[in-house]
Amino acid sequence: MSLRSDRIGWALLLAVIGFALLAPAFDQTGPLKQSLLKALAGPDAAAPFGYDHLGRSLFSRLAHALRLSLTIAFAATATAAVVGIGLGVLAAWRGGWIDRALGLVADSVLALPALLMVLMMGVILPGMGAAFWAGIAAVQWIEFFRLTRRACRAVMDGPAVEAARIQGFGPAWIFRRILWPEIGPVLRTAMAFGVAGAIAAIAALGFVSVGVPAPTPELGQMMVELLPSWREAPVAVAQPVAACFLLLLSLNLIAGGRA
């Protein structure tokens, strides 16, 4: 069952990514072009998914919004994974005051709300895209750090690592050949959940109007903009919701299949 859910998740994710990447080749209007005469109009040749409240193509805006969310989420999770895994291995390998210091830093960062972290990065970095990337990565690395440190401690005490040290193998070889095969499956699951969490966070911040500024298309922002028109155009309102749902469902199926 887990293998089947894993395959379904990958199929859904590839379909969403394929739409986000290939849609611009068929886009005739662009995500920002307005035509108020077509506000909330149905699909046509130029806009296969219809128009939003300002007469902008939902087909184009959904594709751009998905690319934005996927790019930020994958970049943030990849950064968090590299930092968290590296520091987790270091803490487990060296132990002592290094382990305690890194644990204290992780606990201190965890005390800060994720929203506050993103807003702080928004002041420091130019552009909300960079702020989302840095803010989400600054929160997510803690999970990778804790998982890696806990898993590596158990492996470090085993005979395989001791034998490799005696034979003169370095840390990189030991990590690649001994540690990663043991901790890799857990961390790959954490990565899938991390990307899903990042996408949900971006959409949630957009929904409360503190995310990517208009008119840049973003899933949460599109939901807020279209929500007042749910009676006149329920299909239009449902589109960013469905896109976000399918994206999160695919990633959770992938993570569940690996668990």
pLDDT tens for each residue of the chain, 259 residues long: 455 778 888 999 999 999 999 988 888 788 888 888 888 888 888 889 989 989 999 999 999 999 999 999 999 999 999 999 999 988 888 878 888 999 898 888 887 777 777 777 777 777 777 888 888 898 899 999 999 988 888 787 778 877 877 787 777 888 888 888 888 888 888 999 999 988 888 888 887 777 777 788 888 888 988 988 888 889 999 999 999 999 999 988 888 765 5
Question: Among 56, 54, 10, 68, which residue's Cα sits nearest to residue 31?
Answer: 56
In whole angstroms, give the CA distance from residue 142 to residue 154: 19
pLDDT at residue 1, rounded to an integer: 45
CA torsion angle 248 249 253 259 (round to 10): 50
Task: Specify the number of domains making up the chain.
Answer: 1
pTM reported for the whole predicted model: 0.86
pLDDT at residue 118, rounded to an integer: 75
Q: What is the CATH number of the domain that holds 244?
A: 1.10.3720.10
Structural domain for 164, as ranges: 2-258
DSSP one-letter code for 37: G
Which DSSP string corresponds to 175-193?
Answer: IIIIIHHHHHHHHHHHHHH
Amino acid, single-letter form, for residue 210? V
Alpha helices in the chain, H assignment, sequence order? 2-26, 58-94, 96-110, 114-124, 128-156, 159-166, 171-174, 180-207, 219-226, 234-258
Which structure tokens are listed for 54? 């300002």
In whole angstroms, give the CA distance from residue 134 to residue 119: 10
In whole angstroms, give the CA distance from residue 80 to residue 72: 12
